[in-house]
């Protein structure tokens, strides 16, 4: 399973990439607004220049013609940009049109296997089931990820990758890997939580103390 960062924070992206474990980034309008980026184009171009893989940038207009026009515009900003399109009827229409133009789509706000199947048929490169938001609503978000992975496995010609999104904590990452998600997109905080273990820190401290006691350094 690959790890993407779910953020528009440049420093966090630089750190994640420097660790060699982050191979993509996903953003959404909320994440962009949280960072106070005023120039959407400059922000997306900057992130795309840092990340060695796909960077999802969402369309922020409604209606298929406007979404299509904006998707084409965003796609021209960088070679590794992926257009985030919501899982609606208009979104499917836009996705299938973009597929014909070889523009990659991450179909977002997915809450059902049917939406995922339709996204794949329309030609989306990625489908993003929102795990945490389903959990919030009293459903099992990770069960949806597993269901989508299982259904896609039945059809070798479906090449859409399952991108577990709305990840809230490290256990979600383990569950996404167990479910067979191709990618989990995680907040920076969760990436740091995945790295950290108190026994590692205690172990380092003890090793260094023991070494100091014999070497005198
Ligand atoms: O990027 C989409 C998704 O990951 C949002 O997560 O925590 O706002 O539900 P969240």
Residue 126 CB less than 6 A away from ligand 1 = no
Chain segment 97-125, per-residue pLDDT in tens: 999 999 999 999 999 999 999 999 999 99
Residues 6+ apart with CB under 8 A from 35: 7, 8, 9, 10, 43
pLDDT of residue 215: 85
User: Which numbered atom of ligand 1 lies nearest the CA of 136?
Assistant: 9
pLDDT of residue 37: 83
* Percent over 70 (pLDDT), the chain: 100
Residue 179 CB less than 6 A away from ligand 1 = no
pLDDT of residue 42: 95
Please give the model's pTM, rounded to 2 decimal places. Answer: 0.95
Burial of 102 (0-12, 13-18, 19+ CB in 10 A): exposed
Counting the structural domains of the chain, the total is: 1
Range of the domain at 71: 2-215
8 Å CB contact between 148 and 140: no
pLDDT tens across the length of the chain (217 residues): 999 999 999 999 999 999 999 999 999 999 999 999 889 999 999 999 999 999 999 999 999 999 999 999 999 999 999 999 999 999 999 999 999 999 999 999 999 999 999 999 999 999 999 999 999 999 999 999 999 999 999 999 999 999 999 999 999 999 999 999 999 999 999 999 999 999 999 999 999 999 999 987 7
The number of beta carbons lying within 10 Å of the beta carbon of residue 167 is 26
* Residues labelled catalytic: 84
Residue 130 CB less than 6 A away from ligand 1 = yes
User: Which of 56, 162, 165 for a ligand 1 pocket mutation test, highest count of atoms within 8 Å of Cβ?
Assistant: 165
Q: What is the CATH number of the domain that holds 30?
A: 3.20.20.70
8 Å CB contact between 91 and 106: no
């Amino acid at each position: 399973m690959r790890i993407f960062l779910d953020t528009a924070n440049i420093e966090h992206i630089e750190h994640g990439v420097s660790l060699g474990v982050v191979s993509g980034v996903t953003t959404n309008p909320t994440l962009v607004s949280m960072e106070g980026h005023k120039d959407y184009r400059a922000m997306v171009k900057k992130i795309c220049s840092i990340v060695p893989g796909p960077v999802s940038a969402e369309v922020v207009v409604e209606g298929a013609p406007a979404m299509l026009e904006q998707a084409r515009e965003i796609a021209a900003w960088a070679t590794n940009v992926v257009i985030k399109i919501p899982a609606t009827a208009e979104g499917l229409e836009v996705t299938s049109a973009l597929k014909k133009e070889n523009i990659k789509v991450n179909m977002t706000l997915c809450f059902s296997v049917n939406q995922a199947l339709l996204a794949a048929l329309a030609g989306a490169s990625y489908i993003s089931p929102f795990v945490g938001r389903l959990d919030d609503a009293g459903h099992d978000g990770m069960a949806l990820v597993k269901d989508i992975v299982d259904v896609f496995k039945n059809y070798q010609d479906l090449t859409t990758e399952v991108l577990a999104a709305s990840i809230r904590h490290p256990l979600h990452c383990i569950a996404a890997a167990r479910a067979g998600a191709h990618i989990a997109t995680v907040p920076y905080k969760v990436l740091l939580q995945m790295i950290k273990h108190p026994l590692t820190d205690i172990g380092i401290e003890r090793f260094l103390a023991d070494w100091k006691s014999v070497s005198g350094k």
